[in-house]
A and B are shown apart, each in its own frame.
Chain A
Amino acid sequence: MTPAVLAALVGAALVGLGLYGLIVHPHPLRKLLAFNLVGSGAFLVFGMVARRGAAAGLAFDPVPQAMVITGIVVAFAASALAVALVLRLFATSGRVDLDPRVWTRPDDDSSTS
């Protein structure tokens, strides 16, 4: 078991852990934290693939590592968007509950075009 494989197994554990947090926590920011755990776990799997691909004088396969770098930035951008939505939701309504039953009004006359 090389360090890379160990790291990927840790990644798998993180994916499971993050999934648990996503399902169980009602607060959207906690869900976001859990999502970030899942994301970083997935990236660790990429990292193992990169390390296993050491060849031709390189200590790693650069392609998966480049993908991870792209993925980290995209995940951050997603977090920023989610945070902005949550903060705005709190500012306009004082609540951050995502349960749709909380938001459905009995006579929903809201109409937009």
Chain B
Amino acid sequence: MSIQTFLDIALALLVIGVAVWTIVARDLFVAVVAYAVYGLFLALVWIRMYAPDVALTEAAVGGGVTGVLLVAAGKRLDMSAIDIDRQKPSTTLAILAAGCSILFAGVLMIVILSLPAPAPTLAPQAAAAASGPGAGLGNPITAVLMSYRSFDTMLEKVVLILAVVGVWSVGADQAWGAAPAPFGPDRPYDALVFLAKALAPVGAIIGFHIFWTGADAPGGAFQGGALLAAMWMVALMARLIELPRIDARWLRLALVAGPAVFLAVGIAGAMLAGSFFAYPSAFAKPLILSIEAFMVLSIAVALTMLVAGPPYRKGAP
């Protein structure tokens, strides 16, 4: 057994171990921290699978931003008041659930091992289309997201807007229009403020770079947007800037910028390139990068607003 196999198995066991910890931890807070750790190990697994783009997304969104979301949620729930967390599940339910899960996982494993070999793949088509519809993008995943399957990406931006609307909708009626509750205490620790002042600008530049370089190397709009969102959240936590009011026109425009520009270019494609969502070959790559720029803005703003939660006004129910 080579060193690599040994490391792979060790990583697999580590991932499963942390996942088990997430499930069996007694305390919600511990479970959330375990989940964040799990997300980071999972990113390593993705790298092992030659998927750096996915690893970046998993680390940034799956582990990072989701972690912030859940930690903030855990803190807002007054843990002492909740006894439901302490309830142990009945043994019959636990055994039934365990049986179901083992069966499910088992069938899935058998099926995974029964997948045909050689594996069918669209990589040849993607490589062949790289110079045509792929707009000469060096990163094939960006080509898939922004060109071959741009329809799915546009729909996903719509999903983000709907999620923001949904999150805003659970606020109080009287609080509508106000800004969400602040992330951090009114007087944050000096260390946090220092960290924010030092880290946020650097992180923002890195985020922008990840987006820009995603055209030809691992990276892209989602990863860059997630990093920008994270830096914005750091600045918000240190109270360097405040959350915007949800009826602010610029906020609304920033949130729809991605899908709106996508839609506009898609419709224009029908007239300029012969088909909806097609790009005129002459300037396909700059067009894609421009759309991605707006997407980064929308993603960064959407992720932050999703973590920020519904509008809040002191005294509103």
Residues of A in contact with B (beta carbons under 8 Å apart):
3-10, 12-21, 23-27, 29-30, 32-34, 36-37, 40, 43-45, 47-63, 65-70, 72-81, 83-88, 90-92, 94-97
A16 touches B163 (CB 8 A): no
Residues of B in contact with A (beta carbons under 8 Å apart):
4, 8-9, 12, 15-16, 19-20, 22-23, 28, 31-32, 35, 38-39, 42, 45-46, 48-51, 53-54, 57-58, 61-62, 65-66, 69-70, 73-74, 76-78, 81-82, 84-85, 87, 89, 93-94, 96-98, 100-102, 104-106, 108-109, 112-113, 115, 117, 119-124, 126-128, 140-141, 143-145, 148-149, 152-153, 156, 159-160, 163, 166-167, 170-171, 220, 222, 299, 303, 306-307, 309-310, 317
- Nearest CB of chain B from residue A39's CB, rounded to whole Å: 9
- For the complex, what is the distance from the CA of A18 to the CA of B16, rounded to whole Å? 11
Chain A residues contacting B62 (CB-CB under 8 Å) are 36, 40, 72, 75-76
B22 touches A37 (CB 8 A): yes
Chain A residue with the shortest CB-CB distance to B65 = A76
B16 touches A58 (CB 8 A): no
Pairs A–B under 8 Å by Cβ, sample size 8? A12-B105, A12-B112, A18-B23, A26-B89, A27-B82, A53-B122, A63-B122, A76-B62
Q: Which 5 A/B pairs are nearest by Cβ-Cβ distance?
A: A16-B105, A53-B121, A52-B119, A77-B163, A80-B306
A15 touches B70 (CB 8 A): no
Interface of B is mostly: helix
B69 touches A80 (CB 8 A): yes
B101 touches A16 (CB 8 A): yes
B23 touches A66 (CB 8 A): no
A23 touches B97 (CB 8 A): yes
- Nearest CB of chain B from residue A17's CB, rounded to whole Å: 5
Total cross-chain contacts (CB, 8 A): 276
- For the complex, what is the distance from the CA of A41 to the CA of B179, rounded to whole Å? 36
Cβ contact of A10, chosen from B16, B100, B299, cutoff 8 A: B16
B145 touches A33 (CB 8 A): no
- For the complex, what is the distance from the CA of A36 to the CA of B160, rounded to whole Å? 17
- For the complex, what is the distance from the CA of A73 to the CA of B106, rounded to whole Å? 28
- For the complex, what is the distance from the CA of A60 to the CA of B140, rounded to whole Å? 9
In the complex where A20-B97, A83-B69 touch, is A72 in contact with B156 (Cβ < 8 A)?
Answer: no
B8 touches A3 (CB 8 A): yes
- Nearest CB of chain A from residue B11's CB, rounded to whole Å: 9
B70 touches A47 (CB 8 A): no
